């Protein structure tokens, strides 16, 4: 059974594993079950494209998870490899960066959640670097996406490169926070 460190990590895992028809979209109904000493989160629902019932069960880690957007505590993921995390970070950073460049500074707050998600994904990749080493080892890549990204871009898994990406993401978040949200009563949900 898969072990997830948080519901946030479980959702990313489901997003990364689409239905056989190719769609990742399904109505996720969630329930918790007790299996012996394990708390198991079960997600089930029909694929919106082909109707196939999809089901995922995750043994939840015993540690209390950090708040989102963090995916888990200090240990690396057991269900998502570093290449998948980096792939997610790159894809979201690219689209969010374009949106930030094309939006007035007064609307940058709308993209804060996406930038925080990117930062959390970069931070996950670093957790795969063993103590005393400078890069994620090749053995950490177990998915096809992860192996492919590592083969194409091994330098992106060096500690110094990842730490630069983390610093840059934190700087973007700080800029967004400095610009602030619109005054109460003028936001998109008011």
> What number of other Cβ atoms are within 10 A of residue 111's Cβ?
19
Phi and psi at residue 8, in whole multiples of 5°? -60, -45
SS3 28: coil
pLDDT tens-place string over residues 139-190? 999 999 999 999 999 999 999 999 999 999 999 999 999 988 766 654 454 4
Contact of 56 with 48, CB cutoff 8 Å: no
Using DSSP bridges, classify how beta strands 53-60 and 38-46 pair: parallel, antiparallel or unpaired.
antiparallel
Sole residue written with tokens 């007035």: 104
Q: Which of 93, 96, 91, 94 is nearest to 108 (CA)?
A: 96
pLDDT tens-place string over residues 25-80? 999 999 999 999 999 999 999 999 999 999 999 999 999 999 999 999 999 999 99
Cis, bond preceding 69 (omega within 30 deg of 0) = yes
Q: What's the N-to-C CA distance of the chain in angstroms?
A: 43
Q: Which of 130, 182, 129 is nearest to 157 (CA)?
A: 129
Neighbouring residues of 27: CB distance < 8 A, sequence distance ≥ 6 = 45, 46, 48
Q: For the chain, what's the residue count?
A: 190
Question: What integer pLDDT is reported at residue 183 of this predicted model?
Answer: 65
CA distance 190 to 187: 5
């Amino acid at each position: 059974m898969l072990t997830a460190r948080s519901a946030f990590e479980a959702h990313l895992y489901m997003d990364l594993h689409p239905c056989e028809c190719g769609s990742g979209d399904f109505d996720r109904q969630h329930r918790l079950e007790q299996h012996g000493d394990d708390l198991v989160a079960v997600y089930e629902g029909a694929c919106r494209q082909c109707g196939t019932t999809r089901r995922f069960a995750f043994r939840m880690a015993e540690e209390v998870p950090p708040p989102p957007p963090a995916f888990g505590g200090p240990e690396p993921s057991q269900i998502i490899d570093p290449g998948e995390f980096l792939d997610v970070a790159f894809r979201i950073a690219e689209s969010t960066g374009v949106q930030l460049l094309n939006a007035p500074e007064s609307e940058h707050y709308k993209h804060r959640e996406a930038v925080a998600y990117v930062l959390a994904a970069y931070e996950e990749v670093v957790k795969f670097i063993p103590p005393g080493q400078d890069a994620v080892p090749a053995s950490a890549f177990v998915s096809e996406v992860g192996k492919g990204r590592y083969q194409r871009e091994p330098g992106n898994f060096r500690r110094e490169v990842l730490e630069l990406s983390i610093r840059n993401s934190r700087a973007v978040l700080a800029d967004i926070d400095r610009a602030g949200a619109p005054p109460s009563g003028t936001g998109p949900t008011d």
